[in-house]
Structure 1
Amino acid sequence: MVKKNVLIFTDCYIYGGSERLMTFLLSNQLLNEQFDLTLAFRSHKSYVEGLNSDLRKWGVEAKTLPVTLLSNTALFHRISCSGLHPLIKKGIKIPFYLVERLGIYFVFNIFVILGFLLKKRPDIVHVNNGGYPGARSCNQFVLCCHILKIRSIVYQVNNIAYPPGSIFSRWYDKLIGKYVYSFITASSQARLALISQRSFDATKIVQIPNTVKLEATMVGRAEILAESGWPEDTFLLVQVAFLTARKGQIYLLRALKEIRDSQHPVLTQQLRVLLVGNGEDEGLLKAYVADNHLQDYVFFTGYRANSVDFIQACDVFILPSVANEDMPLALLAAMNMGKPLISTGFAGILEAIKNGENGILISNAPDEITAQLKSAIIQMFESPDKRAVLGVEARRTFNEKYSEAAYGKALSRLYDMSLQGGGIAKNAY
C-alpha cells in the first residue's frame, strides 16, 4: 500500500512549544507507519538549531524543507530585543511595515508557495499556526492549496483566537473556513474562540490534545545544584518559557519579592528560581531583579536545548501565564516527568490540571496573580508529602490523556477522513 504524502507547514521565528509539537508529530511511530511525512518551514537560525537538535536527540530521519518567505515578524522581534531607544526601534520598523501593508510580501509569498506546492504535490496539508490569525503565511498556504485543488487541509491553531480587526478580516476568514477541511485545537476554550471570535463552522473544529515525548536527561539535579553552588536542600522552582509579558514572569518576580520580605526565613534561605528561555522582556525582567535585589534568588539561563534537564531537577514547575495559551508543551513535559505544578488556570491548562489533585491552579487576573502565586509557593514548600502526591497524579493524568499513542491515533483518523471528504464524524474524537 502506497503511503499518502502529508506536508506539514509551520512559520515561527522561534523553536517554541507549538513548533516542537510538529517535531513530535514527525517522530510519531503510528503516523510514520501510515503516512509519508514532510515538514516545510520558514527558515530561521534558532529554529533550525532547535529542530535539528530534537531530531538528532530522538534519532529521527525526517524530511525537512526550508521555504524562503517574506515576513516582518522575525525582524521586528530582533529590533524589539535590541538595546536601541524605543523611538529608534519604531523608526526602523516603519518602512518595513509599509512595504508589507502594500501587499508586496503577500504577492511574493503566494508565488513561492504555489511553486513549492506544485513541486511537492502533497495529498494532505497540515498547517500549524501559533494562533489565529497568527502567521500570515499560514493562511496564504491555504489559499494556494485551494488554487491547486488540494482539498485535504487540516489547520492547527495553538492559542486563543483574536477577534477580527476589519471587514476584510471577516471576509478572509470566510475563505479560510470554506477551504479548510478541519481545524484542530488542543483545548475546548481555543475551539470556542474560533467559533465565537472568527465565526468558523463548529462542525469543522476538532479537539486533539497535545503530546510530548519523554526525553532522557543529560544533566541531573545534583549536577545543576553543584554547578550553581546551591545546597542539596534547595527548593527549586523552574519555568521554561519565552520571556514575554504573556508568560507572566513579572508576576512571579513580584511574588518572590513579597516572599523575601515576609517572615518566612527558612523558605527565603532555600528558595531558588530558574527562568529557562530568552525573549523580548529579558532586559526588563533582569532590571526588575536588580532593582529589587533578587539576584540571590532568580537566575536566567537563556535559551537551552536541554530545558528538560531543568524541569527534571525542579521541585515545582511553575507557569504563571496571563494570556494566549492553549495547551503548553512545557507544562505537559513537567506532567510527564511527574512534577507538581503551579499554573494559572485558563484554556487547555484547565483541562490538564485539576486544582488540588495534580497541581495548584491560580487566577490569571493581574490584581490577584501575585498574591496567589506567593500563597501557592509557600504551600508547596511547606507540604513535601503533598508535592509528591501531586506529582504522581500529574504523571497519571498525562498517561491517560496526552500520550503519544493517543495523539497519533486521533491525527491519523483526521487525515483519513480528510482524504475521504464529507463531514467529520461526530464521535471520532
Structure 2
Amino acid sequence: MAKKNVLIFTDCYIYGGSERLMTFLLSNQLLNEQFDLTLAFRNHKSYVDGLNNDLRKWGVNAKTHPVTLLSNTAFFHRISCSRLHPLLKKGIKVPFYLAERIGIYFIFNIFVMLGFLLRRKPDIVHVNNGGYPGARSCNQFVLCCRALGIRSIVYQVNNIAYPAPHIFARWYDRLIGKYVYSFITASSEARSALTSQRNFDPVKIVQIPNTVKLEAATMGRAQILAEARWPEDTFLLVQVAFLTARKGQIYLLRALKEIMDGNHPVLTKKLKVLLVGNGEDEDMLKEYVSENDLQSYVFFAGYRTNSVDFIQACDVFMLPSVTNEDMPLALLAAMNMGKPLISTGFAGILEAVRNGENGILISKSTDEITAQLKSAIIQLFERPDLRILFGAEAQKTFNEKYSEAAYGKALSGLYESSIVTKASY
C-alpha cells in the first residue's frame, strides 16, 4: 500500500523552537515508516540556513519546499532591531503595513498557495503556527486546502491563544474551526485557551506534548568558556531564547546585579550568564550590562544554529519568561540533557517542571521574579547535590513524557484518524 502524503506547512522568518519541532517530524522513524513527509515553509534565508544545518547534522534526506509568500514580519523585525530613530522606524513600516491591511498580501499568497497545493496534492496537511492567530498565512493555507477539497487538516498551535479582537475575527475563527479536522496543543492550558479565547470545539483539540532530539555537541564546555574568556570553574547559567521582553532576560540580569552587590564572594567570583539568541531588546540589554559594570559576567553569543551546545555546557538552564509561553523546546532540550532548571511557571512548563523535584519554579510576576531568581541561583550554587538530583529527575521526566517515540506514535494516530473519518465532517 502506498504511503499517504503528509504536507507540513509552517511560516516563521526565524528558525526557532516550534520550527525545529517540524524538522523533528522529518527525522521521526515511526512517521517516516508510515507516511511520505514534505515540509513547506515561507522562503527566508535564515530559516533555510537553520533548517539545512539541522538536516545535515542529523543525516536526514527530507523533502523540503520553500514557498515565496508576502509578509511584513521579517522586514519589520529587522527594522525594530535596527538603530534607526523610533519615528523613522514607524515611518518606514507604514506603507508596507497599509499594503497588508488592504489585502494585497492576502490575494498574492492565496494564489501562490493554491498553485502549490495543486502541484503537491497532499492527503494530509499539518499546519504549524507559533500561536493563534499567529501567522496569517497559516489560516490562509487552511482556506486554500478546503477550497481544493482537502479535509484531513491538523493544525498545531504552539502558544496560548489571544482573544478575538473583533467580530470579523470571530467569523474567521468559525470557518477555521469548521474546516480543521483537529487542533494540536502541547499543554492543557493552551488547549483551554483555544476554547475560551477563540471558541473552538474542545472535542477537536488534542494535547500532544512536544519533543526534541538528543543531539551530540559540536562544541564542548571548555571551548565555549574559552570563547567567552571565562575560567573552567565557572558556574554557568544559560538561556536560549529571542532577546525580547517576554523572555525575561532583563530580570535575570537584575538578579545577577543584586548577587554581585550582595555578600556572596565565592558565587560572585564564579557566576556567569550566557545568553544565546538575538532580538529587538539586544541593545537595551547590552546597555544595562554596560551601565552596571557586568561586562565580565555576561556574554551575548548571538543567534547560533548550535544552541544545544550551550545548553549542554551549562550548570543550570534558565527560562525567566514573563508572558506568552507554553512548552519551549529549549527547556525540553535541557531536560533531555539532564540539566537542572530554573523557570517561571507557564502552561506546559508547569506540566514538565515539578518544583523541588526536577527544577525550581519561580513566580512570573514582574514584581517578584528578580528576587526569586536571585534566591534560586544562590540555592543551586550552594547545593551541587540538588543540581545533580534535579538534572537526573528532569531527564527521567523527559524520557517518560516527551520522547520522540511517544510523539511519533501520537501524531501517527491523529493522521490516520483524519483520513478514516474525513468523509464525515
Q: TM range, normalised to the smaller chain? A: over 0.9
Q: Which residue of 1 aligns with 2:389?
A: 389
Q: Which residue of 1 aligns with 2:208?
A: 208
> Any idea what the Cα deviations from partners look like across 1:48-87, whole Å, max 9, x if unmatched?
0000000000000000001111111111101101110000
Q: Which residue of 1 aligns with 2:286?
A: 286
> Any idea what the Cα deviations from partners look like across 1:253-294, whole Å, max 9, x if unmatched?
111111111111111110011001111111111111111111
Q: Offset of 1:225 from its aligned partner?
A: 2.2
Q: What 5-or-longer segments of structure 1 have no aligned partner?
A: 425-429
CA contact (8 A) 2:151 2:422 kept: no
Q: Which residue of 1 aligns with 2:308?
A: 308
2:145 aligned with 1:145:
yes
Q: Which residue of 2 aligns with 1:33?
A: 33
2:244 aligned with 1:232:
no
Find the aligned partners of 1:269 and 1:373 in 2 and give their Cα distance: 18
1:185-264 correspondence runs (5 A): 185-264=185-264
> Any idea what the Cα deviations from partners look like across 1:131-151, whole Å, max 9, x if unmatched?
000000000000001100100
CA contact (8 A) 2:9 2:40 kept: yes
CA contact (8 A) 2:240 2:276 kept: yes
Find the aligned partners of 1:271 and 1:95 in 2 and give their Cα distance: 47
Find the aligned partners of 2:365 and 2:135 in 1 and give their Cα distance: 27
Q: Which residue of 1 aligns with 2:353?
A: 353
Q: Offset of 1:320 from its aligned partner?
A: 0.4
Q: Which residue of 2 aligns with 1:136?
A: 136
Opposite residue 116 of structure 1, the aligned amino acid is: F
2:192 aligned with 1:167:
no
Q: Equivalent residue of 1:165, what SS? A: coil
Opposite residue 336 of structure 1, the aligned amino acid is: N
1:82-161 correspondence runs (5 A): 82-161=82-161
Find the aligned partners of 2:289 and 2:347 in 1 and give their Cα distance: 30
2:272 aligned with 1:272:
yes
Q: Offset of 1:223 from its aligned partner?
A: 2.4
2:376 aligned with 1:376:
yes
Find the aligned partners of 1:224 and 1:15 in 2 and give their Cα distance: 22
Q: Equivalent residue of 1:14, what SS? A: coil
> Any idea what the Cα deviations from partners look like across 1:140-167, whole Å, max 9, x if unmatched?
0000011001000000000000001110
> Any idea what the Cα deviations from partners look like across 1:103-141, whole Å, max 9, x if unmatched?
111111111101110111100000000000000000000
Q: Offset of 1:218 from its aligned partner?
A: 1.3
Q: Equivalent residue of 2:40, what SS? A: strand
Find the aligned partners of 1:27 and 1:74 in 2 and give their Cα distance: 27
Find the aligned partners of 1:56 and 1:215 in 2 and give their Cα distance: 12
Find the aligned partners of 1:228 and 1:88 in 2 and give their Cα distance: 35
Opposite residue 261 of structure 1, the aligned amino acid is: D
Find the aligned partners of 2:55 and 2:325 in 1 and give their Cα distance: 25
Q: What 5-or-longer segments of structure 2 have no aligned partner?
A: none
Q: Which residue of 2 aligns with 1:337?
A: 337
Q: Offset of 1:423 from its aligned partner?
A: 11
Q: Offset of 1:307 from its aligned partner?
A: 1.0
Identity %: 82
Q: Offset of 1:227 from its aligned partner?
A: 3.6
Q: Equivalent residue of 1:284, what SS? A: helix
Q: Equivalent residue of 2:127, what SS? A: strand
Opposite residue 368 of structure 2, the aligned amino acid is: E
Q: Which residue of 2 aligns with 1:14?
A: 14
Find the aligned partners of 2:224 and 2:62 in 1 and give their Cα distance: 32
Q: Which residue of 2 aligns with 1:53?
A: 53
> Any idea what the Cα deviations from partners look like across 1:21-60, whole Å, max 9, x if unmatched?
0000111000000000000000111100000000000000
Q: Equivalent residue of 1:278, what SS? A: coil
Q: Equivalent residue of 1:122, what SS? A: coil
Q: Equivalent residue of 2:217, what SS? A: coil
CA contact (8 A) 2:7 2:37 kept: yes
> Any idea what the Cα deviations from partners look like across 1:220-244, whole Å, max 9, x if unmatched?
1122223433222210000011111
Opposite residue 15 of structure 1, the aligned amino acid is: Y
Opposite residue 398 of structure 1, the aligned amino acid is: F
Opposite residue 356 of structure 1, the aligned amino acid is: G
Opposite residue 263 of structure 2, the aligned amino acid is: Q
Q: Equivalent residue of 1:190, what SS? A: helix
Find the aligned partners of 2:75 and 2:50 in 1 and give their Cα distance: 19
RMSD: 1.1
Q: Which residue of 1 aligns with 2:421?
A: 421
Q: Equivalent residue of 2:64, what SS? A: strand
Find the aligned partners of 2:163 and 2:221 in 1 and give their Cα distance: 44
Shift in CA distance, 225/160, structure 1 to aligned 2, threshold 3 Å: same
Find the aligned partners of 2:137 and 2:232 in 1 and give their Cα distance: 49
What TM-score, normalized to structure 2? 0.99
Find the aligned partners of 1:263 and 1:65 in 2 and give their Cα distance: 56
Find the aligned partners of 2:228 and 2:76 in 1 and give their Cα distance: 34
Find the aligned partners of 2:168 and 2:63 in 1 and give their Cα distance: 36
Aligned length: 424
Q: Equivalent residue of 2:243, what SS? A: coil
